């Protein structure tokens, strides 16, 4: 995989993370909620863990353990990237037929309620499902969503 496509996946992962609705109704159906929360936590915490892993060895003059602490630091810094990579790959994955039907039903419901939305995709991906779910939770009332959740 080329370097530009890896960075492209990280960017898509960030976009997917911002579009996916973090709703409790979706938690049992999709792993995205767990991945997004873990990735956000890793983005906040793991740089500090990496710095602390190296600085503690230096503070205690334990330079023999510095290579191991560097490995720990690199692993800690890779955790957010792993989450973004997974989210980027997931956003580009085509929906299975059952979810594609659900995507079409939600899309039609939003359009029938009179809201504007992107055109229906023939082979939707998880990114399109996230956009439709996000729009549905923002614009449809609870009684309209009752059928699906």
Domain ranges of the chain: 1-92, 94-149
Average pLDDT over residues 130-147: 78
If one counts every other C-beta atom within 10 angstroms of the C-beta of residue 43, the result is: 16
Res 120: pLDDT: 87
Q: What does pLDDT average to over the chain? A: 90
Instruction: For residues 102 and 125, give the distance between their C-alpha atoms in angstroms, rounded to a whole number.
Output: 12
In whole angstroms, what is the distance from residue 74 CA to residue 8 CA?
21
- For 82, list phi and psi in degrees, rounded to 5: -65, -40
- pLDDT of 13 > 60? The answer is yes
Residue 36: phi, psi to the nearest 5? -65, -45
pLDDT score for 139: 78
Distant-in-sequence, close-in-space partners of 9: CB < 8 Å, separation ≥ 6: 84, 85, 88, 89, 92
Its pTM surpasses 0.85 = yes
- pLDDT tens, position by position, 81-122: 999 999 999 999 999 999 999 899 889 988 888 777 788 888
């Amino acid at each position: 995989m080329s370097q530009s496509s890896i960075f492209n996946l990280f960017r898509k992962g960030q976009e997917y993370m911002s579009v996916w609705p973090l709703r409790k109704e979706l938690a049992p159906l999709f792993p995205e909620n767990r991945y997004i929360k873990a990735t956000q936590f890793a983005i906040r915490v793991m740089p500090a863990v990496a710095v602390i892993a190296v600085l503690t060895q230096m503070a205690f003059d334990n330079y023999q353990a510095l290579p191991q602490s560097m490995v720990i630091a690199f692993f800690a810094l890779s955790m957010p990237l792993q989450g973004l990579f997974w989210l980027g790959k997931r956003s580009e994955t085509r929906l299975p037929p059952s979810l594609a039907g659900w995507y079409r039903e939600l899309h039609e419901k939003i359009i029938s309620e009179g809201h504007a939305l992107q055109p229906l995709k023939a082979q939707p991906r998880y990114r399109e499902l996230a956009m439709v779910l996000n729009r549905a939770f923002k614009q449809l009332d609870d009684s309209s969503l009752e059928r699906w959740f």
